[in-house]
Amino acid sequence: MENNTTYHIPVLFKESVDALQINPEGTYVDVTFGGGGHSREIFSRLNEQGRLIVFDQDPDTKKNAWEAPNFYFVPANFSFLKNHLRLLGVTKIDGLLADLGVSSHQFDEAGRGFTIREDAALDMRMNQNAELYAFKVVNEYDEAALTSIFKNYGELNNARLLAREIILKRTEKPIQSTGELMAVLNRFAPKFKDHKFFAQVFQAIRIEVNQELEVLKNLLVQATDLLAPNGRLVVISYHSLEDRLVKNFMKRGSFEGEVKKDFFGNVLKPLTEVVRHPIVPNEEEIQRNTRARSAKLRIAEKNVG
């Protein structure tokens, strides 16, 4: 089993797998299988009694799987984690790894519409069978919805202006491709910072298409319920919106960052952070894989009792 680095280069590879503190006889889940890099390393640390279950909604990833009696590939979104594990007879796990965001393969395959480097159809679906795709967002959402997406998911200050420009241009003809969308918004791109601007625009649309933040919330809640006492939750995020949710949930048990208490004043906090500050890639890894530069690794452990 060799890592398919042509599909995806694993980020914070050793740090994330080590963080799971793998018990050779334990049950582990990798909810973002991709090229299988992290999964292969996890699997190599298990014995015949150990189990690895991996999830990926992208059909392209199935070719990176392998056959083994204690390896299970689930071709689905990790939002349905509990249901799929229940079908496999799994109610408790010893660790879960999530490497969020878009894989190298998805970025590099121009036809998927994730990259700003090449003109492609407005797609951006991680699951190619999903009904919502970028064309619908750009050409059918009203001004309020587009403004909300650009403001909340892209963190763009001129969100309303961008929404109005898109609506104005699409009345003339539909905006069909990523290149056409960039041309429509080009006059708003700051000089010398156009790459970052368009990356934020694409991020906003992509998050909406794939409902990434809601799916992440579902994952964190379900993972916490599934983890056995002292089980590990390991999450790699790539932008502030994801990282904020992960940080708040691990630190305080809520997505808003508020500490919740029961009737007796006891703090309702299912996890304890293993590291107070996120682990980030070193300069060597960033030079080797520029997509690692924004990665943040957070680790938490399920509380006992």
Name the least confident of 29-33, 112-116, 239-243.
112-116
Mean pLDDT, the chain, whole residue set: 91
* Domains of the chain (ranges, CATH numbers): 13-104+212-302 (3.40.50.150), 115-210 (1.10.150.170)
Q: What is the pLDDT of residue 277?
A: 94
- The mean pLDDT of 225-250, rounded to a whole number, is 96
* Two tokens, residue 121: 């159809």
Is it the case that residue 221 has pLDDT exceeding 50?
A: yes
Q: Are 146 and 153 in contact (CB under 8 A)?
A: no
| Tens digits of residue pLDDT in 146-203 | 999 999 999 999 999 999 999 999 999 999 999 999 999 999 999 989 999 999 999 9
Distances (CA, A) of 24 to 38, 54, 93, 195: 16, 17, 13, 45
Q: What is the C-alpha separation between 11 and 91, in angstroms, rounded?
A: 29
Query: Residue 97: helix, strand or coil by DSSP?
Result: strand
Q: What is the pTM of this model?
A: 0.89
Q: Which of 124-128, 231-235, 259-263 has the largest mean confidence?
A: 231-235
Secondary structure (DSSP) of 208-253: HHHTHHHHHHHHHHHHHHHEEEEEEEEEEE-SHHHHHHHHHHHHHS
* Two tokens, residue 148: 């909300």
b/e per residue 218-245 (b: at least 16 CB within 10 A): bbbebbbebbbeebbbbbbbbbebbbeb
Q: What is the C-alpha separation between 90 and 34, in angstroms, rounded?
A: 22
Name the least confident of 67-71, 103-107, 277-281.
103-107
- ∠ CA(54), CA(59), CA(63), 5° rounding? 70
Is it the case that residue 1 has pLDDT exceeding 70?
A: no
Q: What is the pLDDT of residue 111?
A: 61
- ∠ CA(104), CA(32), CA(204), 5° rounding? 65
- ∠ CA(21), CA(212), CA(248), 5° rounding? 55
Q: What is the pLDDT of residue 6?
A: 47
Q: What is the C-alpha separation between 159 and 126, in angstroms, rounded?
A: 24
The percentage of residues in the chain with a pLDDT greater than 90, rounded to a whole number, is 76
Q: Which residue from 162, 206, 151, 204 is spatially nearest to 185, judged by alpha carbons?
A: 162
Q: What are the residues whose beta carbons fall under 8 Å from the beta carbon of 28, sequence distance 6 or more? A: 20, 22, 42, 46, 50, 51, 52, 53, 93, 94, 95, 96, 97
The percentage of residues in the chain with a pLDDT greater than 70, rounded to a whole number, is 93
| pLDDT bracket for residue 268 (50, 70, 90) | confident
